[in-house]
Amino acid sequence: MAEIIQRIVATNADWTGLILRIALGVMIFPHGAQKFLGWFGGGGFKGSMGYLTSHQGLPTLVAFIVIMAEFFGALMLVAGVGTRIAALGVGAVMAGAMLKVHASNGFFMNWAGKQTGEGIEFFILALGIALALIVAGGGKFSIDALISNR
C-alpha cells in the first residue's frame, strides 16, 4: 500500500507542476464553491444536486462526485495533496461537461453573446492542464513533494 501511495504522490520539485495546479485549482474553486456552498451565486449542495440530476440527467452518485471533485479537488490542487487524484477528478468533470453540455455549441466561447452557450475551447485547456498534472504530479511546494521525499 505504501508503494502505491508513493507512486501517486511522486513528483519533481519543479515550478511547472506548481503553476499548473494553482491555475487549475483557482479556476475550478469558484465552480465547486457554487455547487457545494452556494457561494458566487450558486445553488449550494441541495440545489446543485437537484439541477445535475433533474436538468442534466446525471445519476445521483455522478452528481455527487461532480460536486466533490470540483470543490475538494480544487482545494487539493492548491495544496498539492493527492494532485494526480484531484486532477483526474477535475479532468473527468471537464471532459463530461465538454461532451455532455458544451460540444453542441461548437468550439468557441460565447465572447460576443451570439450563440446559445459556451463552446469547448475552455474545456480543452482545463483538460490539458489536468492531464499534465496526472503525468507530472504537483511539483514545487506541494504536500505530495513533501511526502515523496520521505
**150 has pLDDT over 70:** no
| pLDDT (tens digit per residue) in 91-137 | 999 999 999 999 999 899 888 888 788 889 999 999 999 999 999 99
| pLDDT (tens digit per residue) in 14-63 | 899 999 999 999 999 999 999 999 999 999 999 999 999 999 999 999 99
CA torsion, ordered 138, 141, 147, 148, to nearest 10 deg: 60
- CA-CA distance, 102 to 34, in Å (whole number)? 19
The residue to which cell 455532455 is assigned: 100
Kindly give, in sequence order, each residue whose CB lies less than 8 Å from that of residue 122, ignoring residues fewer than 6 positions away: 109
**Whole-number pLDDT of residue 130:** 98
Kindly give, in sequence order, each residue whose CB lies less than 8 Å from that of residue 50, ignoring residues fewer than 6 positions away: 43
